[in-house]
């Protein structure tokens, strides 16, 4: 079952693109945040530098203090497949899933609990619809899933921040899931080959920075040069998430599974 949702209102908001990290030690100050004020279309985007997960929570809460609408688009799964929640009898709401995950204590203990029951790695409806690369349970992703849900979204939701589409609230600050690979696929831009050392990946990064600028993302020259030098593609991923969110049809299960915007 699916139901239509209107295109997100982005004119006039402050849009934040976040390249997330589920690494140990709170993310090890590896998270990149790019901000774009859509009320001033040609205003250059800005960077918050490198922060950790606690710093990200503080930044999101602080954005609620200026009286403006903020949308935080984070590159990490915001929930798990409904199939997994049903197997463990967790639900029916996203907050129930988040608290269950948190109760297991760590990413590895959570993944071990799930794999003790289910060896497969099912994907969510949004993973299929928006062409995300992996299941939230994948070996390369599970730490991001658990830390984003348990260390970022859960404390934010408990303080009244809107988690779209899982936790509605009257907050002017919204956190949702974004995916650079989905952005690249939707735009028909190169979605592989931009991460890594050497000339071929560097040339792809140069092309992507150029395409972002052509789409109206005002990139300061030093930031563009840094994104081209960044062999891991972290800064470029954050920059891709300050393009306007997608208009899409969201399934009913998204209230538990989350959705990619």
Phi-psi region of 33 (alpha: psi -120 to 50; beta: other; left: phi over 0): beta
102 contacts: CB under 8 Å, gap ≥ 6: 149, 150, 154
d(CA 238, CA 243): 10
Q: Which of 4-18, 39-53, 128-142, 192-206 is predicted with the least confidence, judged by mean pLDDT?
A: 4-18
d(CA 62, CA 64): 5
Structure-token pair, residue 28: 């090890």
Q: Is residue 44 part of a domain?
A: yes
Q: Is residue 185 part of a domain?
A: no
Q: Is residue 230 part of a domain?
A: no
Residue carrying structure tokens 């593609």: 233
Query: How many distinct structural domains can be found in the chain?
Result: 1
- pTM for this one? 0.93
> Residue 3 — very low, low, confident or very high, per pLDDT cuts 50/70/90?
very low
Q: Which of 139-153, 170-184, 237-251 is predicted with the least confidence, judged by mean pLDDT?
A: 237-251
Q: Is residue 191 part of a domain?
A: no
Q: Give the rounded percent of residues in the chain with a pLDDT score beyond 90.
A: 86
Q: Is residue 234 part of a domain?
A: no
Which tens digit of pLDDT belongs to each residue from 44-97? 999 998 999 999 999 999 999 999 999 999 999 999 999 999 999 998 999 999
Q: Is residue 67 part of a domain?
A: yes
Q: Is residue 117 part of a domain?
A: yes
d(CA 46, CA 35): 5
Q: Hey, is 245 helix, strand or coil?
A: coil
Task: Check pLDDT > 50 for residue 13.
Answer: yes
> Which one-letter DSSP state was computed for residue 247?
P
pLDDT of the residue at 11: 60
Q: Is residue 202 part of a domain?
A: no
Tell me the average pLDDT of the chain.
92
Which tens digit of pLDDT belongs to each residue from 176-218? 999 999 999 999 999 889 999 999 999 999 999 999 999 999 9
What is the side-by-side strand order in the sheet with 46-51?
46-51, 31-37, 14-19, 70-74, 173-177, 162-163
Note down the domain range covering 163: 1-180+248-255
Task: Check pLDDT > 70 for residue 129.
Answer: yes
pLDDT of the residue at 4: 36
């Amino acid at each position: 079952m699916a139901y239509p949702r209107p295109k997100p209102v982005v004119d006039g908001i402050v849009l934040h693109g976040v390249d997330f990290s589920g690494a140990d030690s709170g993310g090890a100050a590896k998270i990149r945040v790019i901000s774009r004020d859509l009320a001033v279309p040609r205003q250059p985007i800005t960077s918050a530098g490198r922060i950790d997960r606690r710093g990200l929570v503080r930044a999101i809460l602080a954005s609620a203090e200026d009286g403006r609408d903020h949308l935080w688009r984070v590159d990490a799964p915001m929930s798990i497949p409904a199939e997994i929640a049903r197997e463990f009898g967790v639900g029916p709401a996203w907050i129930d899933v988040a608290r269950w995950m948190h109760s297991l204590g760590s990413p590895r203990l959570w993944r071990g609990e799930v794999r003790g029951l289910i060896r497969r790695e099912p994907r969510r409806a949004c993973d299929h619809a928006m062409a995300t690369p992996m299941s939230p349970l994948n070996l390369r992703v599970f730490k991001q899933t658990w830390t984003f849900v348990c260390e970022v979204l859960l404390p934010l939701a408990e303080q009244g921040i809107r988690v779209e589409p899982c936790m509605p609230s009257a907050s002017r600050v919204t956190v949702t899931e974004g995916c650079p690979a989905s952005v690249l696929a939707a735009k028909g831009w190169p979605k592989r080959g931009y991460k890594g050392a050497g000339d071929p990946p560097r040339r792809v990064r140069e092309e992507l920075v150029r395409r972002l600028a052509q789409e109206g993302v005002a990139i300061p020259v030093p930031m563009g040069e840094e994104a081209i030098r960044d062999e891991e593609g972290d800064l470029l991923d954050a920059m891709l998430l300050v393009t306007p969110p997608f208009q899409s049809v969201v399934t009913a299960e998204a209230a538990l599974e989350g959705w990619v915007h």
